[in-house]
Amino acid sequence: MTPTMQNLSTEKKTPSENPEIDRRRAFAIIAHPDAGKTTLTEKLLLYGGAIQLAGHVRARKDRKTTRSDWMAMEKERGISVTTAALQFEYNGYRLNLLDTPGHEDFSEDTYRTLMAVDCAVMLLDASRGVETQTIKLFHVCRERGIPIVTFMNKMDRPAKDPFVLMDEVEKTLGITAVPMLWPMGSGEDFRGVYDLTKDLVYRYDRVAGGSFRAPEKTGGIDDPELESIMGEELCATFREGVELARGALPRFDSEIFLKGMITPVFFGSAITNFGVQLFLDSFLELSPSPAGLPLTDGTTLDPRSPQFSAFVFKLQANMNQKHRDRVAFVRITSGVFERGMSVNVPRLGKQVRLSSPVAFFGQERSTIDNAYPGDIIGLINPGLYRIGDVLCTGEPPAYRPLPVFAPEIFARLIPTDTQKLKQFRKGVQELSEEGVVQVFSTAEGLPVIGAVGQLQFDLFRFRLEDEYGAPCRLENLGYECSRWIREEDRNKFSSYDLIIRDEHNRPVVLFKSEYRMRNFVQNNANIQLFEHPPENSD
């Protein structure tokens, strides 16, 4: 750990002139698959009072499914494959929680979502520590300057030593871990946590199934009952760890945290509820309200500016299958949103009236009249909006572009029911707008779809069948990587490579393998390949 940071004092955030902005929190949870992300989301809703009974990811028939996993495939497989927005009130705060897909095949959706939040919760499995997908998402947060709070989950199971976990965070991610709670054992020996800032012990009582709030009892670290609860040896180890944490580890500093240099660390068990409310209460105090958004010209967009601005970071079709509607997820960045207001959409070159705004709670939604910076709202989308669209009342702010990733697997898309061609074409168009897959076309006009992982293809086929009644089959193509190229270079590739075009008619080259691509780069230094679409190629 960094010794020079041990004596840094905690500084309070300075309140702004707008209490509605001050009480907003927009955050996402980042994690490796199976770290317990959706379970933690459910328990935050439970303690926030938004739901009365927490569901399980793989729900039994007599339990409710998780509120954030509303899509049919999510319920069937017990995984999160799309970002869900959950807005609720807690202790005077307005929380905008974005539950992101954990599976790496849906990284692009997660990366875009991270452009719409002000803080992130990094959820780690305490038995496994820092894992691959967590590393990728952490670096996205760091590039964006998003402060990160860490929750060490699954302490009710055998876990790594807390010092080892925090050292792993620092060495792997390059950020200093600052403990806020200290665990009392793990697995069968887990007995609670000690709050290093309040000098209080919170004792853990096991609750069957974790469906209701876990009872917690508080006491001091010198409470003689601890030895009878923990056993003499375990209690001595715990007290020794606390003293070492107090004396050797850095203290929390708000200013350094907001700069992304330290991450406060909490310990608990989402499945049993223990430590969740402690975490939630502390997180809301530590995490920032909406701040200045960095723009491409090096300036920042002040959320307190009277000019309204927002951007579309996600599209979703068929959230309500009865109405077969499409919804645009919008992050408010400045000004005040009012239902019925007219805004400019620079890409369209015209004004649009925002007459049907909604707040989200998973699949559920409610009409709203006002929204403020930090809020995530939904707009009914009759094919009007695209991901990355700017909505504003004055000059459009120069937001940083939302990420687009080069696909790694490709397939021809073939409908298997000619009587459902209309539904097939509609489904392909709407799902490609969402970013489920990227749709390309060959020189002959044949559709080719690309994805980062196979699960995206599975989701695409599933939704075409389930939501549009349009069955299809995929013929995998023998290409493993792709890059965008400039128009003037499209004729400089061999017959081993395939040139296709994306939805904006930009040329893309497909390579048989990464070896083939590296070999091409070595022999053609004058030809540029792009992992993202070139900015001047639209």
Segment 168-198, tens digit of pLDDT: 999 999 999 999 999 999 999 999 999 998 8
User: β-strands 409-415, 447-451: how paired?
Assistant: antiparallel
Segments making up each domain of the chain, as ranges: 3-12+20-289, 300-392, 409-523
Buried b (16+ CB within 10 A) or exposed e, 510-523: bbeeeebbeebeee
Asked if pLDDT for residue 141 goes beyond 50, the answer is yes
Q: What does the DSSP 8-state code read for residue 180? A: S
Task: Identify which has the larger pLDDT, 325 or 329.
Answer: 329
Structure token digits, residue 239: 């007290």
Closest CA to 210 of 359, 15, 63: 63
Q: pLDDT > 70: what percent of the chain? A: 85
- Residue range 196-249, pLDDT digits in tens: 988 888 988 766 655 555 656 677 888 888 888 888 899 999 999 999 998 888
Yes or no: say if 28 and 44 are a contact pair by the CB < 8 Å rule: no
pLDDT band at 348 (very low <50, low <70, confident <90, very high): very high
For the stretch 360-394, pLDDT in tens is 776 677 899 999 999 999 998 888 899 899 999 98
In this structure, are strands 507-511 and 498-501 parallel, antiparallel, or unpaired?
A: antiparallel
Give Cα 533 distance to the centre of its chain: 23
pLDDT in tens, 88-100: 899 999 999 987 7
* Cα 423 to Cα 403: distance, rounded to the nearest angstrom: 29
The pTM score is 0.79
Kindly give, in sequence order, each residue whose CB lies less than 8 Å from that of residue 406, ignoring residues fewer than 6 positions away.
Answer: 481, 482, 483, 484, 531, 532
* pLDDT score of 2: 40
Q: Who wins on pLDDT, 424 or 214?
A: 424
Listed in sequence order, the residues at least 6 apart from 503 whose beta carbon sits closer than 8 Å to its beta carbon are: 432, 438, 439, 440
- CATH number listed for the domain at residues 409-523: 3.30.70.3280
Across residues 414-422, what is the average pLDDT? Answer: 92
Which one, of 110, 111, 84, lies nearest residue 98 by Cα?
84
Sheet of strand 507-511, all strands in order from the earlier edge strand to the far edge: 472-476, 409-415, 447-451, 438-441, 498-501, 507-511, 481-484
The b/e string for 138-175 (b: 16+ C-beta within 10 A; e otherwise) is bebbeebebbbbbbbbbbbeebbebbebbebbbeebeb
Top-confidence residue, 294 or 149:
149
**What single letter denotes the amino acid at residue 336?**
V
Q: What is the predicted pLDDT for the residue at 405?
A: 74
The CATH class given to the 300-392 domain equals mainly beta
Residue 317 has pLDDT above 90, yes or no: no
Q: Are 500 and 449 within 8 A, CB to CB?
A: no
Reading the block at residue 210, the tokens are: 């974790």
CATH number of 3-12+20-289: 3.40.50.300
Average pLDDT, the chain: 84
Task: Indicate the pairing of strand 309-317 with strand 390-392.
Answer: antiparallel
Segment 111-122, tens digit of pLDDT: 888 889 999 999
Asked whether residue 522 carries a pLDDT value surpassing 60, the answer given is yes
Token couple for 432? 């490609």
What tokens appear for 222 in the block? 């010198």
What's the rounded Cα separation, in Å, for the pair 476 and 496? 16
536 three-class SS: coil
**Which residue from 460, 523, 456, 454 is spatially nearest to 493, judged by alpha carbons?**
523
What does the pLDDT read at residue 70? Answer: 42
Model pLDDT, residue 536: 54
So what's the pLDDT on residue 105? 52
325 phi and psi, to 5 degrees?
-95, 170
User: Is residue 459's pLDDT more than 90?
Assistant: no
Q: Return the closest-CA partner of residue 263 out of 95, 124, 96, 107.
A: 124
Number of other residues whose CB lies within 10 A of the CB of residue 274: 28
- Please report which residue ranges of 33-131 form alpha helices under DSSP H: 37-47, 72-77, 107-114
